[in-house]
Chain A
Amino acid sequence: MMIGGIDIVVLIATLMVASTPILLAATGELVAEKSGVLNLGVEGMMIMGAICGFIAAVHTDSPALGFLAAAAGGIAMSLIFALLTQLLLSNQVATGLALTLFGLGLSSLVGQGYNGVKPPPSPDVNLGPLEQIPVIGDILFRHDWMVYVSLGLVAATWAVLRYTRAGLILRAVGENHDAAHALGYRVRLVRTLALAYGGACAGLGGAYISLVRVPQWSDGMTAGSGWIALAIVVFASWRPWRVLLGAYIFGGVTVLQLRLQAAGIAIPVQLLSMAPYLVTILVLVIMSARRGRAAMGAPASLGRIFHASS
């Protein structure tokens, strides 16, 4: 299927790969925000995940261990954030910015000497007969396993938040931390765990860029994906399935933009490259114009500092 010199099947298949990093990061951030913490350090956690995963994969020659290390790196970063915002009651906006700067700097220090190194390849999962289905097989069933992990995480996040007691407690903490505290829930513990989950997901997302999508290491290679993940959470009104939709739309715009460039459309490259960011702004405006903050589904305690006076 070709439209305007662009193969639609290939476009959708690459879209899924291109969206996976932001999908992972946004799913994690959704959980953190549902617990009432705004972590603007997603970009920093992603880039640390990217380099930790890269180094581990190169030395062990195993992408799986690489992704594990990436998750660990992301968690370590998120725990710095948790220590500062939950225990030391610092401003979440400023702490998140610091985390991003720190992550960008530390990753380039740690990653010095890894430029140009090739990571072990992550092969596509063999799904046997499913791969042979025309069109759908090409689109859905010929990806590496992280694509399926990311989809599984979205489903799991949705199910846990909606149907389990743990999910209910997490949402209660995010909606009204004082009431949750009065009921005996440990607000800081719940939030720290939510942040750690966010860190792990962001780390996986970063490693997906350095191990699968690019795949190599260069300084600052996440190039704003973390910030787009943050925008997607707002776009999705804090709902997991809409995060999936949002991530695929943004991934789609990015891929389409690259394809248009390759197809030789007579528009300056830079004007196409800014499209995903402009679309993000446009979507944010539409989302916020339609409904107020309360109706958008933002957790009521989002970004507020919790300090138990007794």
Chain B
Amino acid sequence: MLRLEKRPMPSRFWTAVTPVLAVILTMVAGGILFALLGKPPVEAIRVIFWDPLFGANNFYTLPQMLVKAGPLILIAIGLSLGFRAGIWNIGAEGQYIMGAICGAAVALAFYPAEHWYIFPLMVIAGALGGWIWAMIPAVLKIKFGTNEILVSLMLVYVAENILSWVSFGPLRNPQGYGFPGSRNLQQYPSAHNADLIPNTGLHWGVVAAFLAVIGAYVLLNRHILGYQIRVAGQAPRAARFAGVSPSRLFAFCLGTSGALAGLAGLFEVAGPSGQLSPDFNVGYGFTAIIVAFLGRLHPVGILLAGFLMALTYIGGELAQLSLNLPSAAIQAFQGMLLFFLLAFDLLSNYRVRWKEHAAKEIAK
């Protein structure tokens, strides 16, 4: 009989190895799934995981990886702070949308004036928009004890409706022939978040993502607040005895993750996407949750996980074209990846032993 013994500390070896195992198993299980659905399994896996990196079109797909990984990493870094402290902000998608709306609104208010300060103002507005949207669940939690999971999630649907409303109403392009959607910010130099080096995909959002990784690493390892976050997650009671204020932690973690998600939205709308439209958001806020877990809630891990997830996005798009897979299929992949990862967490948190063996040890 197998039996589980809780480890006093998560195993470092297994914590590092499990993501790799999870990816391999996802490929195997995904292949089986595709085979069952009558798609060629080996080719599907190759298109999704190999072609974006080394395929014939990688002059296009490699920069796209940066474009996709940037927002994912930026959002996931913010979420990971909260997740570590046991604070579940799952409404990053809404904060992302609100950041994009606020940032774009600032740009459109200045249109067509050209000033150096427009883009910085947009960045501030974007962060603020996301921050405010995330502070709603934070304040409700602090004041009334309302469940932040449900509130932050409900606010996603509210934000989606606001997005639809502004792109049909107040922020619609007056020269857009009645189509929904704002002016294209790519054609407005002061507001355009262009590639810093042309055709590399390296825009300000990617730079912000790298900065966030470094910032989170320093915060968690060198700052008292990071220490408090870690204690609150591992031993909430001990944290309270040590004088950690849960309210402050809530406000900080939710606020930060909201601001980062808002920034991601702003960089997206001002750069790769270019305009607000009812379907401008593509679920980065939800995928970032997986990125955070896949990266073991560790900044460097999240950096790697962000690139992996970007790979599956691009691969999914390629598979859509060449294998006629539906666009949501990639979500099945991402869900499976998270399943395997969570299942393997058992090995990091517990020791698996034979029962007889363990009994003998106790007898000694």
User: Which A positions have Cβ atoms within 8 angstroms of B?
Assistant: 40, 44, 80, 84, 88-91, 93-95, 97-110, 112, 219-220, 224, 227, 230-231, 234, 268, 270-271, 273-274, 277-278, 280-281, 284-285, 288-289, 292-293, 307, 309
Contacts and interface: CB of A to CB of B under 8 A. Distances in A.
5 contacts: A108-B332, A270-B168, A277-B155, A285-B146, A289-B145
Interface in B37-67: 37
B146 A284 contact: yes
A234 B148 CA distance: 12
What secondary structure prevails in chain B residues at the interface with A? helix
Interface in B270-300: 286, 289-290, 293
B346 A88 contact: yes
B241 interface: no
B154 A231 contact: yes
A109 B329 contact: yes
Interface residues of B, number: 50
Contacts of A285: 140, 144, 146
A104 B331 contact: yes
Interface stretch (B208-216, B223-231, B250-258, B337-345): B337-345
B147 A234 contact: yes
Highest count of chain A CB atoms <10 Å: which of B149, B289, B349:
B149
B158 to A, nearest CB: 5
B333 to A, nearest CB: 7
B336 interface: yes
Interface in B119-164: 140, 143-147, 149-151, 153-155, 157-158, 161-162, 164
A105 B161 contact: no
A94 B293 contact: yes
Contacts of B149: 40, 93
A93 B297 CA distance: 15
Nearest to A93: B88
Contacts of B146: 281, 284-285, 288-289
B361 to A, nearest CB: 14
Contacts of B200: none
Interface in B314-342: 325-336, 338-339, 342
Nearest to B326: A108
A101 B338 CA distance: 9
B4 interface: yes
A70 to B, nearest CB: 19
Nearest to B165: A270
Contact of B328 (A99, A105, A224, A230): A105
A135 to B, nearest CB: 34
B273 to A, nearest CB: 20
B341 to A, nearest CB: 8
Contacts of B37: 109-110
A278 B150 CA distance: 11
Contacts of B155: 277, 281
A99 B157 contact: no
B343 A278 contact: no
B349 A99 contact: no
A280 B154 contact: yes
A307 B325 CA distance: 41
B342 A90 contact: yes
A84 B342 contact: yes
A108 B328 contact: yes
Given A40-B149, A97-B90, A98-B342, A270 B328 contact: no
Given A108-B326, A110-B37, A277 B154 contact: yes
A78 B327 CA distance: 24
Contacts of A219: 326, 328
Contact of B169 (A220, A268, A292): A268
B120 to A, nearest CB: 30
B357 interface: no
B6 interface: yes
Given A109-B326, A234-B147, A270-B165, A80 B339 contact: yes
B204 interface: no
A98 B335 contact: yes
A305 to B, nearest CB: 10
**Residue picked from B153, B165, B330, B345, most chain A C-beta under 10 Å:** B153
B350 interface: yes
A84 B344 CA distance: 10
Nearest to A274: B161
B154 A281 contact: yes
Given A108-B329, A268-B165, A281-B151, A274 B346 contact: no
Closest 8 CB pairs between A and B? A102-B335, A105-B332, A105-B331, A108-B328, A98-B338, A101-B335, A90-B342, A270-B165
A112 B326 contact: yes
Contacts of B169: 268
B246 to A, nearest CB: 14
Given A110-B37, A231-B150, A91 B339 contact: no
Contact of A90 (B162, B168, B333, B346): B346
B31 to A, nearest CB: 13
Nearest to A111: B326
Contacts of B290: 98, 101
A235 to B, nearest CB: 10
Contacts of B334: 101-102, 105
Contacts of B90: 97
